[in-house]
Structure 1
Amino acid sequence: MIKTHQLSLSYGDTSVLKNINVQFRTSGMTSIIGPNGAGKSSLLSLVCRLQQASSGSVTFDEQDIHAIKSAQLATKMAILRQENHLMTRLSIEDLVCFGRFPYHQGRPTKDDFEKINRAISLMELDNLKARYINELSGGQRQRAYIAMVLAQDTDYIFLDEPLNNLDMKHSANIMKVLRKVTDEMNKSVILVIHDINIAACYSDEIIAMKEGEVVCQDTPEAIMKNERLSALYDMPLTVETLHGKPVCLYYL
């Protein structure tokens, strides 16, 4: 299990995260929601060791995350950041193969290619796998990056706004795939997401953040309440039930 302990991050006099204490499920889907500047992406960066905390710690199975060797950690957790800076003269297949590097170390095996092809198929990119990344639309590129992370086949999958550049069809398809990954492969998927209705529909748990703090960590049904969401986003919000799911009418 991954836990944070009094985790804080500051830049000079600016406090980004303040004493965060959360634990991430060993399986299932967790969505992190909150207004811009809440510290959602920063939390993922600290948990995945992409940044150094100002204070506090992150543990993986009771071991400090900074004490775990990088090669070992890469087989346990994967992260897709908002911005990716990989070389554009890579094909989709090569990009997804890169996700298997912690295992094949440059010499992919039959098992690696099976996982690569499965991830490409899950993202509906079979007919495009020979295409270069710079030849893809924004949505196709985003699906390719998600395929790369899925191919890494880790226990924990962290996704920072994975629905960027995606239309409604592909957003829904990707959330269904992620739901399938959690249910059938017993993975823990943690994603930063702005659409609270998608978070409520697909997640087992929601972490709500505001101004660098965790406001609450609970089930979607417990968090999708008028008072809680209105206080979180500083605007009047109404939650209705549609087909048994809570839906926030934030556009009215």
Structure 2
Amino acid sequence: MINIDHARKIYSDEVKIGPLKIDIPKAGLTSLIGPNGAGKSTALLMIGRLLDMDHGHIKVANMDVSHSKSKDLAKILTILRQENHFVTRLTVRQLVGFGRFPYSQGRLTKDDEVIISKYIDFFGLTCLENRYLEELSGGQRQRAYVAMVLCQETEYVLLDEPLNNLDVARSVQMMEHLRYAADQFGRTILMVMHDINFAAKYSDRICAMKNGEIATFGTVEEVMNPTVLTDIFETRIDIMKGPCGPVAVY
């Protein structure tokens, strides 16, 4: 479980995120949605200890993220930021191999190499594994970054806009991969999502944020409500019943 207990980040007198208080259950996919500036990425970065809290506590699998040793936390929690600044003269395989660092400390074993190949194959990157990142499209790099995160094989995975740079077809493939990872690999995935229809189709739960606070948290059916979404996004949103579940119509 991810336990967020009155976590707060204060950027200025006018810009504050929180206090946030929520328990996100173990297993499955949970999406963070909301308008720009709602605090979604800030919340994710605080959970992943890439951003310090000013108040409150966050625990992941009963480990306090503020006080746990990095080497211990890295074996249960991994995070992919929206902006990535890796050295471009890395191959896909070298990048994905970084996911094994908490275990190998840079000295990859045969077992590590098997796991690296597993996730390269999982994301359809086998034919690109010896290509440099600078030679890839934005969508191909995004798949490689997510492969690296899953290669760390942590129980908890945090993703900030995992559909960045992906077209519709690749977005569908990415979400199907993440759904499979949650179901078959037993991962607990928390992700910031821009497209609420992708969130609705693939998530188990949705947490909606507005003005730095949690507006609502529940099942897809509970959150995909026209009154709820219209209030959160401050524009009229209707809900249609599609073959794969509720669909938001702007």
Q: TM-score, normalised by structure 2?
A: 0.98
Q: Which letter maps to 1:13?
A: D
Aligned to 1:22: 22
Aligned to 1:202: 202
Distance 2:244 2:146 in 1: 29
- Output one character per residue of 1:131-190: Cα deviation in whole Å (capped at 9) or x when no partner: 001111100011110110010000000000010100111100010010001101111011
Cα drift, residue 62 of structure 1: 3.5
Aligned to 2:226: 226
Q: Which moved more, 1:158-167 or 1:54-63?
A: 54-63
Cα drift, residue 193 of structure 1: 0.4
Q: Which letter maps to 1:147?
A: A
Cα drift, residue 110 of structure 1: 1.6
Aligned to 2:165: 165
Which secondary structure state, in structure 2, belongs to the residue aligned with residue 134 of structure 1? Answer: helix
Which secondary structure state, in structure 2, belongs to the residue aligned with residue 153 of structure 1? Answer: coil
Cα drift, residue 20 of structure 1: 0.2
Aligned to 2:128: 128
The 5-angstrom pairing of residues 101-180 of structure 1 reads 101-180=101-180
Distance 2:80 2:64 in 1: 22
Q: Which letter maps to 2:119?
A: A
Which secondary structure state, in structure 2, belongs to the residue aligned with residue 22 of structure 1? Answer: strand
Q: Which moved more, 1:27-36 or 1:58-67?
A: 58-67
Moved over 4 A (4+): none
Q: Which letter maps to 1:229?
A: L
Matching of residue 9 in structure 1 with residue 9 in structure 2: yes
Which secondary structure state, in structure 1, belongs to the residue aligned with residue 44 of structure 2? Answer: helix
- Output one character per residue of 1:186-220: Cα deviation in whole Å (capped at 9) or x when no partner: 11011100110110000000000000000011000
Cα-Cα RMSD: 1.0
Which secondary structure state, in structure 2, belongs to the residue aligned with residue 37 of structure 1? Answer: coil
Distance 2:168 2:5 in 1: 37
Distance 1:133 1:187 in 2: 27
Count of residue pairs brought into register by the alignment: 250
- Output one character per residue of 1:52-104: Cα deviation in whole Å (capped at 9) or x when no partner: 11111112344422221101111101100000111110000000001110011
Matching of residue 248 in structure 1 with residue 248 in structure 2: yes
Question: Is the Cα–Cα contact under 8 Å of residues 75 and 154 in structure 2 kept in the other structure?
Answer: yes
Distance 2:62 2:150 in 1: 25
Q: Percent identity?
A: 44
Distance 1:159 1:64 in 2: 20
Matching of residue 193 in structure 1 with residue 180 in structure 2: no
Structure 2's unaligned 5+ residue stretches are none
Distance 1:25 1:108 in 2: 33
Question: Is the Cα–Cα contact under 8 Å of residues 201 and 244 in structure 2 kept in the other structure?
Answer: no
Aligned to 2:55: 55
Q: TM-score, normalised by structure 1?
A: 0.97
Which secondary structure state, in structure 1, belongs to the residue aligned with residue 18 of structure 2? Answer: strand
Aligned to 2:74: 74
Distance 2:240 2:9 in 1: 36
Which secondary structure state, in structure 2, belongs to the residue aligned with residue 72 of structure 1? Answer: helix
Which secondary structure state, in structure 1, belongs to the residue aligned with residue 66 of structure 2? Answer: helix
Which secondary structure state, in structure 1, belongs to the residue aligned with residue 183 of structure 2? Answer: helix
